[in-house]
Structure 1
Amino acid sequence: MIKYYDRKTQTYQTEKVAGEKMIRWTYTSPVGMRLLEAVVKKKMCSSFYGWYLDQRISRRKIHPFVHKFDLDLSIAEKNVKEFSSFNDFFYRKLKPSARSIDPHKDSLISLGDGKLLAYEHINLDRLVQVKGITYSLQELIKSPEVALKYNRGTCLILRLCPTDYHRFHFIDSGICEPSHRIKGAYYSVNPVALQKVEKLFCENKREWSIFHSDHFGDILTIEVGATFVGSIIQTYPPHQKVARGDEKGYFKFGGSTVLLFFEENKVRIDPEIIEQTKLGYETYVLFGEKVGVRGGSFSG
């Protein structure tokens, strides 16, 4: 059971997890772990399933998925009959009216929909995956020079579960460098998996880029793939000016994660999100929602 904090209602909710029983069996049983290492984490497995979800026949999975997780398709650009495949439905675009972007230029907004963790004054060699399990930024991006810029900075981790909107956006205007690709495995990014696989983010397929933002400094953006995520698709134009809220890319089917690293004293995260992170809870946020402001870190 995965609980998260809903700050609109100020209550804790239980997440509806796609394939929850299978995930728990895979990551907690001896047989499941052997199958995971031998088959599930391999590229071939995720690539084959991703190929199937690109085919027209996969459309039959859409209605059961929408019904089981009570998804609101009225906010999508296409209606349910217009999707050409399950993946077409999965990375669906939303109507412009579906999400509102906080209008204040000093507001730090969420890059997408998902469950958010936030860490301030980070130690580059002991980034928190879950309580008791850490990894280093150098291991994650394989570039010690770039990693060093973010010592004592701020880290945001946005986890997109399969039921979430799966496009991610720029949080500010600016210019983004090309994306660097790092090959890896395809472990789940579900909290159950994060508790079982050490340095999971450093094991999985991932991409990273530097975004030269106009108001928040140079932001290190890392997209991490997961089980059955056949592709991380970057749709932005490198070296060209983008506006706040413009699309950066999207994930094909599967749970996924985006990490943002800010230089020291560039942002202040909303205290409520920091407090929930310290308590061990993710906070549910939507694209465009304010999650912090420009400036130094909160004291204490």
Structure 2
Amino acid sequence: MEFKQIKYIDRKTGNTLIENVPGEKFLKFLYYNPFGKLPLELLVKRKFLSVLYGKKMDSKNSCKIIPDFVKEHSINMDESIKQIDDFTSFNDFFTRELKPNSRKIDQRDSVLASPADGKVFVIENISENTKFFAKGEEFTLTDFFRNKNFAKKYKNGIMFIIRLAPVDYHRYHFPADGMISKSKTIEGAYYSVSTHAVRQNFRIFCENKRSFSTLFSDFFKDICIAEIGATMVGGIKQTYIPYTHVKKGDEKGYFFFGGSTVILLLEKQPFKIDEDILKNSRNGLETKVYMGESLGSTLRVRGEKI
């Protein structure tokens, strides 16, 4: 497959933009050059490298990286509770908390909100065996969950893939009100989840380390929330309390350094995906969204049984 720049749609302006990808030349070598396959399989996808790099990003010395990273990627530090000189490491900066009201949460009961800042792609009908992107790798729900009952539950449902780039705010939140289950972790590889990598192998989502939990929603059918690990992601940290009632926009957890992905799986139900996200996805493009923005809404009448 030809290596192409990552284009996406800015939701606020409707403009098509090109993503500035940190380490893009290295990704091109690993995923598009036959000589890159050996270091990818022997080294890059392995846990120890991501853990090692994560420890480096925990060191006090890593603070030196922060000012240039902020400047190069035009990160709005006015939103951050801490300022540049307050951070104790790059990971401390990477997992920064935002000031209250930095993100507007769509509080309409019928609306499913984005759990994170990132670029969203939607698959309208996720079957047990779904072929995606030009290369046609087969993604299966059974492989994804490693559980046939879950695969059956979400068959023919909707899959939102929210991809967080390294420059994004890296805390993730609940997309709706409801009761949240305990999180289950499946150990796996640490492939990149950049669009460059996923275009080559959509099964990355079935192979990487991932965590699952179920939101027993007050207004939708059950929602599976999955966090996907990736190259140089030192960890996935859940900060919520299992089996408690949570509100839309409450924090669920955060990723340590690296690009990451949050996946929402909805059971088959009357649901309208927001038109811009649906149109862009059908055209093969992601849409830039911010935590709390609408992804779509239920068509269920209030009071009707879920």
Report the TM-score when normalising by structure 1. 0.95
Inter-partner Cα distance in structure 1 for 2:231 and 2:146:
22
For 1:172 and 1:73, locate their aligned partners in 2 and report how far apart those are by CA, in whole Å.
27
Match of 2:248 in 1: 244
- Rounded to whole Å, the distance in 2 between the matches of 1:266 and 1:247 is 27
Distance 1:266 1:92 in 2: 37
In structure 2, relative to structure 1, the CA distance for the partners of 1:244 and 1:271 (3 Å cut) is same
Aligned equivalents of 2:214 and 2:128: distance in 1? 17
Query: What aligned pairs does 1:6-85 form with structure 2 within 5 A after superposition?
Result: 6-85=10-89
In the TM superposition, what is the alpha-carbon distance from 1:140 to its structure 2 partner?
Answer: 0.7
The 2-side partners of 1:187 and 1:232 are apart by: 15
> How far did residue 208 of structure 1 move?
0.7
Alignment partners' CA distance in 1, 2:251 and 2:127: 30
Instruction: For residue 216 of structure 1, report the CA deviation from its aligned partner.
Output: 1.3
Given candidates 103, 107, 115, the residue that maps to 1:103 is 107
Query: How large is the Cα RMSD of the aligned pairs?
Result: 1.4
1:264 to 261, 268, 279: 268
What amino acid maps onto 1:108 in structure 2? L
Q: CA deviation at 1:128?
A: 3.5
SS of match in other structure, 1:280 = coil
Question: Residue type matched to 1:260 in 2?
Answer: L
CA–CA distance in structure 2, aligned partners of residues 189 and 80 of structure 1? 27
Matched with 1:139 is 143
Number of aligned residue pairs: give it.
296
Task: Report deviation, 1:17.
Answer: 0.7
Q: Which residue is 2:238 aligned to?
A: 234
Aligned to 2:304: none
2: distance between equivalents of 1:292 and 1:131?
A: 29
CA distance in 1, matches of 2:131, 2:251: 27
* Shift of residue 191, structure 1, vs aligned partner: 1.2
CA distance in 1, matches of 2:128, 2:33: 32
Corresponding residue SS for 1:87: helix
In 2: Cα distance, 1:96 partner to 1:263 partner: 32
| Worse-superposed segment, 109-118 or 21-30 | 21-30
2:116–2:290 CA contact under 8 A, matched in 1:
yes
Does the 8 Å contact 1:127/1:137 carry over to 2?
Answer: no
Which residue identity lines up with residue 139 of structure 1 in the other structure? D
SS at the partner of 1:259?
Answer: strand
Q: Deviations over 1:110-148 (max 9, x none)?
A: 111000011223212216466623301110110110121
CA distance in 2, matches of 1:20, 1:104: 39
- 8 Å Cα contact 1:107-1:292 kept in structure 2: yes
Please, which moves more after superposition, 112-121 or 189-198? 189-198
- Aligned in 2, Cα 1:127/1:140: closer, same or farther, shift over 3 Å? farther
CA contact (8 A) 2:193 2:261 kept: yes
1:233-288 CA-to-partner distances (Å, cap 9, x unmatched) read: 01110001111110011100111111111111153211221111010000000001
Residue 219 in 1 paired to residue 223 in 2? yes
| Of 160-169 and 101-110, the range deviating more from structure 2 | 101-110
Match of 2:166 in 1: 162
2:287 to 266, 283, 287: 283
Which AA in structure 1 matches 2:207? E
Find the aligned partners of 1:169 and 1:194 in 2 and give their Cα distance: 24
Q: TM-score, normalised by structure 2?
A: 0.93
| Structure 2 SS opposite 1:149 | helix
Distance in 2, matches of 1:207 and 1:104, equals 28
